[in-house]
Structures are given as structure tokens and as C-alpha cells.
Amino acid sequence: MAFGKWNGGCGIVVDDFNFHTLILKGMRYFIIAGEASGDLHASNLMASLKREDPAAEFCFLGGDLMLEQGGTMVRHYRDMAFMGFIPVLLHARTILKNMKDCKQALLDFNPDVLILVDYPSFNLKIAKFAKKNLKDLPVFYYISPKLWAWKEYRLKSIKKYVDKVYSILPFEVEWYKDRGYEIEYVGNPCVDAVSSFVPKYEDRGAFLKHLNVSDRPVLAILAGSRMQEIESNLPVVLKAVSTFQDHQIVLAGAPSIEMSVYDSYLKDFPSVKVVTGETYELLKHSDVAVVTSGTATLETALLRVPQVVVYKMSGGKLLHKLKDLFLNVKFISLVNLITNRELVVELIIEEVTEVRVRREVARLLEDDYRQQVLEGYDRLIETLGKEPVSDKAARLMFARLNGQIA
């Protein structure tokens, strides 16, 4: 029986046997996730890596979900997540200390691989440091920065300091390829989340009974999870959809927003119901939705609810001009970005008016147009694929680290 070569920290591979049975010791994974969403995705990746590599060791900058998977936490993301010029300026000393501590932890842990999760302003600096100070260390990027939208100049750093990018958006493969860099599409986490969703209520009638309202078609509002999004979008949307009196209007409340905030907007709309922590349940039983741009647009499509996308912010026409100058994309919703066409209507900034929102919702209730959107959703779902994203990413990373794939 011939033995293969020694594979880094993983062990010896025997050619004729199952690879997983021959791991002598686990690999050491250093992972950086600087935001709440990154904590979620990284924790799922860690769980999948442990299935590939049961003796895996982790050191990370992240959050509570990653901590649940085990390992050593260097810094919590809540001590790192500073956005905008002023907050960054005010916390410059903290940011520099985080960077210094991360670099030292990386050297002390001496990992077999560095895995970066989005958060490019911090992560690309660490990638550069890793390549200069741990020269043979593989660097993987899980969930690519949105270079296709803005700051394309960061591609130079990725080409220089990152060995492989694992993307969750299929159109990124072609975007990177056109610029001379090969990446791997591993699926989208929204597909995993929607696929694993189990409704509490078997039909719309049961769901509306739970809300203590009569059974009629449901019009859902997903107004965002940030206060600024709610302040800018919800008042207009409420006025626009209030004329659809044959529909029960239900607002998806964000867990981070106090109910008193919603109550202040709903004083003139007493029939509107609010549900918190039940967004998928709401969409499952909805006929149509008005959705603030973000991940929610993709989740709404995966649950096959025709939608109009709205995104309004203070600044109006000036912001629209800035968007045209600095953003390199035709669309703002993930649905349209992935399909590369306007499958769902997007109303942006000054386009978000009562008249426009009302008109687009009415169109979505027309059978022919509605069917056209649903057929587009089916093609979108096929494009995204079905294999759990964290499992596929972990499988490909582990195989690459052990020389099974180039």
C-alpha cells in the first residue's frame, strides 16, 4: 500500500482509502468576520468545516455565533464595526489596536489557512500582512467584497494577496473572469435559509387567524432593518398601499427596532398589523410585497412573492446623481443583479412616490404580469443552485488545502 505525501497540518494520505479516515490532526483556521451577517455566515462555515475536519481548531475575530462553534475569540465584531467617516475618525485608536491585536494573534496562532469574510477595509490589510509575514499561508476570501458596485481598485489587492475567492453571487464569476481572476461560486446563504424554513401555519387563513384579522389576500411591507430606511420609506409606502382595501396589510418588524417606532407611523393606519421574527411566515402567505432593497429582495423572490423594490434616503436628487457617479451597477436589488435584467421594478430615491408605488403594486396583481415575474423567479432559483452553501465552501476549501484540487 503506497502512501502519498505529507499534506501540511492535515496528515498522510493513503491512496486506496477514504481521505477522511486518515486525518492525524486537525487544521488550524484563522477566520475574520467584522459584522453580524459575517458572524452568521462564518459560524455556518465553521460547522461545515468541522464535518470535513472533526479535529479543526479555530481562532477568530467574530461574534457569539462563531463562539458557539468553539475556538478562541480575539475580538468581538461589535468592537470593530465602525462605518462612515466620522465614526471611523472618532474610533481611530480602537481600529488601530484591533488591527495590531489581530496581526499578533495571527502570528501566535500560526494557522494552516486564513479565511476572510467580507469586511474588506480591514480584511485586505490583514491579507497583505499575512502574505508578507507568513509567506506560505493560503488566504481564502469567503463572500467577496462587492467590487462590482464600487471600489473596484481593491481587485488589485485581492489578486496579490488572496489565493481563492468563494462567492455567493453567481454573476461575480464572470465579473472576476473578465478581469483576469478565477473565483468559485458556492451558492447563496438565502437559499439555505429559505430551504430550511418550516411554516408554522399551513395556510393563509390560519396565519391571519393568528393575527386576529379576517381571511383576505395579504400585502406585505418589508421596510428595512435600519432606522433611516424606515424613516425614509415607510411613510410613503403606507400611504401608497392603504388604498388596497381588499388586502390585509402586514408589516414585517425588524427585531432591532422598538415597536413604539412602528406605532408612531401606524396611528393613521389602524388596520395594518405588525409581525416580528416572522418575516418568512409572512412572505409565505403573501400575494404581493413592497420591499426595501437588500437581502430581503432575494428572500422574497425565493419565497415566490411578486414584489416592487423601493429605496429612498434623505438627499433626493443629489444622492441619485452621486449613485450614478460612484456606483458601477445598473440595479440595486439582488434579484435584478443576479438575473442581469429588471425582473422586479426598482424605485430609487425620488422615484419612491405614492403614485409610483401604488401603480407598481397594482400591476403585480394583474395575472399576466404576475405570472411573468413568477417565471423569472423560477429561473433565478435554478441559477442559484441547491447545495448548502457552507457545506460546499467547506468541502472545496478543505480539498484545496489538501491538494485534492488545484
Q: What is the pLDDT of residue 174?
A: 94
| CB-CB contact of 123 with 148 (8 Å) | no
Which of 55-59, 65-69, 293-297, 344-348 has the lowest average pLDDT? 293-297
| CB-CB contact of 168 with 143 (8 Å) | yes
Categorize the per-residue pLDDT at 5 as very low, low, confident or very high, splitting at 50, 70 and 90: very low
pLDDT exceeds cutoff 70 at 303 = yes
| CB-CB contact of 303 with 382 (8 Å) | no
| CATH number, domain 195-384, options 3.40.50.2000, 3.90.1640.10, 3.40.50.2300, 1.10.10.60 | 3.40.50.2000
What totals of helices (H) and strands (E) does the chain contain, helices first? 18, 15
Asked if the domains 3-187+387-401 and 195-384 are classified in one and the same CATH topology, the answer is yes
Query: Would you kindly state where each structural domain of the chain is located, as residue ranges?
Result: 3-187+387-401, 195-384
Element holding 23 (H helix, E strand): none
3-state secondary structure of 31: strand
**pLDDT by residue (tens digit) across 62-80?**
999 999 999 999 999 877 6
| β-pair partners for 3 | 14
Report the distance separating Cα 115 and Cα 42, nearest Å.
9
Categorize the per-residue pLDDT at 406 as very low, low, confident or very high, splitting at 50, 70 and 90: low
**pLDDT by residue (tens digit) across 72-109?**
999 998 776 544 444 555 556 666 788 899 999 999 99
Q: What is the pLDDT of residue 3?
A: 35
Query: HSE (CB half, 13 Å, CA atoms) of 71?
Result: 35
Domain 3-187+387-401, CATH: 3.40.50.2000
